[in-house]
Each structure stands twice: as structure tokens, then as C-alpha cells.
Amino acid sequence: MVADSAVALLAAVTGVLVAAHLLGVLAGRLGFAPVVGELVTGLVLGPAVLGVAAPGVAAHFVPVPDSLVVLSALGLVFLVVLAGSEVDAAAVRRDAATTAALALGAFGVPFLAGFALAWALPAAVLAESAGRLALALFLGTALSVSALPVAVRVLASLDALDTRVGQQTLTVAAVVDAAGWVALAVVADIALAGRVDAGRLGRTVVVLAAFVLVAATAGVRVVDALFRATSTSRSPALTGFSVVTLVGFVAALAAAAAGLEAVLGAFAGGVVAGRRLDDDARRVLQVVTLAFFGPLFFATAGLRVDLGGLLTPTVAGVAVATFAVAVASKALGVALGAAFTDLSRAETVCLAVSLNARGAMEIVVATLGLTLGVLSPALYAVVVTVAIATTVLTPPLLRRALARLPDNP
């Protein structure tokens, strides 16, 4: 029995990784970021494609095996730790006014747009056990986020990381991501309560503030001590990669124990430990996450999507409306924020395009919403589709936008 379970797990993991890397290479050759291919892996392996072409093979993936769900959860933690490690706190402080204006617009306007959209959705696509308020908060959070890991990979593939637009994109995306994790913690608490409980919400905010304070003080000292130990240790197991992994998982557990979302803790752990990572450790973290755990998370998220539901007129209409609101509100938010800075119109366009990709962050929000029963399977499919569509559009549009900058030929 154990041997059979191990073989089934190996078959599922192997199939996911092979498909993810092949589709990633194909996406790269078509001019998209490789992450685009990884994002559609679950859709290809699910009932919509493989389920039609080879139902027997698709049975290894759908319904999603419990063992793959566990590995997907690990993938989520690694992705969030990686996102946190990419945050450059010094860069955020250096250009604080511009970053704050852009982040406020890039997060606030889409949040309000998503919140308003939720109240206009037809009852047919709503989850039976969830109220409109919880849905509105989740949808607002889902549309407001940006994808820091996706931004990093797309800008790097376009050789634009060192440009002013590239650096500004990373700092704004980092702040928006951080705001997204905070909002997610509060929104999840409201969803679990079923209503806005002032006392419960107040406790959540206090616990959240205390958690961030401890991470920024005691957490920093602990991490510094661990990295000093790695510099003198001869153990091959005690490395920068092992430290950031340990810190990320401990922070996730601490957040969960404090009544917050574990992903918030993982993000904080990545921020605290990421500042001490050297190039070798950072490279190992990226390879392990993006080559193994990331594809497992993306595929599992895609396997939960019922594409058949998107073919019905009602759900298709909701998907189109949600995509339009997501793109338009993000562009409007960036433009409003940029109006208070010295950014040129061309730079503003580049930022609006690069921050439009939702990637893993939106899928995380959708996954949590589905788990809590706030999102119906139809709305989950809509949100994941928007995440994939915005990520697909970003590389070619950003390439054109960068070409119009004065410093580019």
C-alpha cells in the first residue's frame, strides 16, 4: 500500500514537472515569460485538455491527490518566502515618496474596483455559504495585488532590471505585495467570522502589528545570529539557503499560531532573511522554488479550475468583466499615483504594464478564498484565469512600452 502511494506520488510529481518545464520552454520561444507556461500547466493536465485526450492519464492528477496538495502547500510557502526575499527595504526607503504614491494608487484603486464589482455579480456565480461582504473583500484583494516574482522574471528576461522603471517596479510591487498580505490576513479573519466583528478585527490588527514588530526587531537579531553561525560552520547543511528556509517556515508557523494567515508569516520571514542572502544562497532559493515547488503549486491551482464553467454565458461574462476591471483599475491607479511624482508618461505606461501581472499572488488569494468557501468554483476559475491572462499579456506589452523610453533605441 505504501509502495503504491509512493509510486502514485512520483508519477504525479514527474508529470507536473515535465509538463511545467516543457510549457515554460514553449512559452519562452513564443516570446512570453517561462512562468506563463508554468501557470497553464494545471489547466493542460486537468479535465479540459488531458482529460479529453487521455482520461486514463488525467486520472493521476484529478481529483488532486492529497500528497500533491501537501507538496503544493510547501510550494506556496517557498514562493512567498522567495517573494519576501526580493524586497529591498533600502530601495523602498530611498524613494519613499514616489513609491508610496504609486503603491497607494496601484493597490487602492483596484481594491475599490474589485469591491464594487462583487456587489454587481449575478447570484448564480456566488458561493452558497458566503456573504457578499466577504466576497467583495476577497475580490478587491485579488484584483489589487501585483506579482513581485513575475515582475522580477519578466524584467530580467527583458534586461530591464537595472533601469529606473525596473527598480521602481520592484519597489512598488514589494509594497503592494506586503499590503496584499496584510489585507489578506484581515479579510480572511472577516470571512471566518462571517461578518465585520469590531472586537475580532481589532484583535487581528493588534496581533498583526505585534507580529510585524517582533519580526522587525527580535526576528532580525535571530536571523543575524544564524547567518553569523553559517559563516563559521563547516557543516554543509548550515547554509544561507537552509537559514532562509528555516526562518520562512518558523515565521509561517508563528503567524498561524497567532491566528494570522501562514503566508503572511512566510512573507515576513523572507523579508527578514532575504537581506542577508548572498548571491549563491539566493540562486539556490530561486532554483529550488522556481524549478520544483513553484510548478507544483501552480499546477495544483490549475487542476482545481473547471474550465467548462467558463463556457457558460454567465460565467464567461463575469470573466470578461473581471478581466476588464482588473486591467483598467490597475492602469488608472498607477496613473493617479504617478501624477504626484516626476515620472514621465512613457515611464508611467511601463509601470502600469509591469504591475498589471497578478501571477501567483492572485492565485494564492483565490486558493484561500476557495478553501474558506468565499469563492465558488466558478469564481475561482474566473480569478485564476484573470491571473493567467494578465501574466500572459505583460511580457509583450512591456517589451513595447520599454522600447518607447527615451533611453531605449
**How would DSSP label each residue in 57-68?**
HHTTTSSPPHHH
> In this predicted structure, what is the pLDDT of residue 409?
45
What integer is the mean pLDDT of 281-290? 87
Do 284 and 358 meet the contact criterion of CB atoms below 8 Å apart?
no
Q: What is the pLDDT of residue 150?
A: 67
Domain 76-403 has CATH 1.20.1530.20: yes
Cell numbers for 174: 514589494
Residue 278's SS3 state is coil
Q: How far apart are the first and last CA of the chain?
A: 62
Q: Are the C-beta atoms of residues 352 and 330 closer than 8 Å to each other?
A: yes
Q: What is the mean pLDDT of the chain?
A: 82
Give dist(CA 291, CA 9) in Å, integer.
Answer: 18
Residue 131: Cβ within 10 Å count: 15
pLDDT class of 128 with cuts at 50, 70, 90? confident
Return d(Cα 378, Cα 380) in angstroms, integer: 5
DSSP string, 340-378: TS---HHHHHHHHHHTT--HHHHHHHHHHHHHTTSS-HH
pLDDT tens digit string along 143-167?
Answer: 998 876 666 667 766 777 667 787 7
* Residue of 106, 55, 115 lying closest to 336 (CA atoms): 106
Q: Is the pLDDT of residue 293 over 90?
A: no
pLDDT band with cut points at 50, 70 and 90 for residue 407? low
Rg over CA atoms, the chain: 21
The pLDDT of residue 110 is above 90:
yes
Q: What is the pLDDT of residues 60-97, one digit of tens each?
A: 676 777 777 888 888 888 888 887 787 777 766 777 88
- pLDDT value for 377: 87
> Can you tell me the distance from the alpha carbon of 348 to that of 106, in angstroms, rounded to the nearest whole number?
12
Q: How many other CB atoms are there within 10 angstroms of residue 136's CB atom?
A: 20
- Residue ranges covered by each domain of the chain: 2-58, 76-403
pLDDT tens digits for range 295-324 = 888 777 777 776 777 778 899 999 999 999
- Whether the per-residue pLDDT at 111 is higher than 90: the answer is yes
Taking Cα atoms as reference points, which of 270, 352, 272, 405 lies closest to residue 102? 352
- Complete DSSP assignment for 232-249: H---TT-SHHHHHHHHHH
Q: Quickly count: other Cβ atoms within 10 Å of residue 232's Cβ.
A: 7
Would you say residue 408 has pLDDT above 60? no
Distance in angstroms (rounded) separating the CA atoms of residues 238 and 229:
8
Q: What is the 3-state secondary structure (H, E, C) of 107-143?
A: HHHHHHHHHHHHHHCCHHHCCCCCCHHHHHHHHHHHH
Neighbours of 59 (CB within 10 A): 11
Q: What is the pLDDT of residues 242-272, one digit of tens each?
A: 899 999 999 999 988 887 778 778 888 988 9
Residue 343 zone, left/alpha/beta (φ > 0; ψ -120 to 50; rest): beta
Residues sharing a CB contact under 8 Å with residue 284, sequence separation 6 or more, in sequence order = 239, 240, 241
Q: 196 pLDDT exceeds 70?
A: no
Give residue 339's pLDDT: 93
Q: Which of 18-22, 135-139, 328-332 has maximum average pLDDT?
A: 328-332
CA distance 382 to 307: 9
Q: In this model, does residue 224 exceed pLDDT 80? A: yes
Question: What pLDDT is stored for residue 362 in this prediction?
Answer: 83
For residue 14, give every residue at least 6 positions away whose Cβ sits within 8 Å of its Cβ, in sequence order, or none. none
Neighbours of 190 (CB within 10 A): 20
Q: What percentage of the chain has pLDDT greater than the value 70?
A: 91
Task: List the single range of 126-130, 192-196, 215-219, 330-334 with lowest mean pLDDT.
Answer: 192-196
